[in-house]
Amino acid sequence: MNETQMNEKKANMDQFIELDVKKLKHIEAERKRLLKFALQSVPDIHFMRCPRCSCRLEEKTIDQISIVICAQCKGLWIHSESLKKVLGLSGDKADNFLKHATK
């Protein structure tokens, strides 16, 4: 193979590589677009299941306190920071919070 043929072969390989890079960039852009769409389409619901009844758990925010509740059996889970807030509530406020949380 002479030098001209080698240069042509290298040029062809460079073109193929350039096309592959463009395809990969396009695929990555499309992946990001689809991921963004999927994340926007997902409702604000946990994908966890209740350990008691296996129903889906829903996240609620009540008085700036975040809880996770099972709509079926009314099981209630609370994050540690939210628990600190609930423990700081006085008697009637705590009762009202729990009544509202389990509606």
- pLDDT score for 47: 67
Q: How many domains does the chain have?
A: 2
Residues 49 and 82 in one domain: yes
- The predicted-structure confidence for 19-77, as pLDDT tens digits, reads as follows 888 899 999 999 999 888 877 766 555 467 888 898 888 888 887 888 888 889 989 88
Residues 57 and 24 in one domain: no
- Give the full edge-to-edge strand order of the sheet including 76-78: 45-49, 56-62, 65-70, 76-78
Structural domain that includes position 73: 45-101
Question: CA 39 to CA 33: how far, in whole Å?
Answer: 10
Residues 63 and 87 in one domain: yes
Residues 52 and 96 in one domain: yes
This model's pTM is above 0.95: no
- pLDDT score for 15: 86
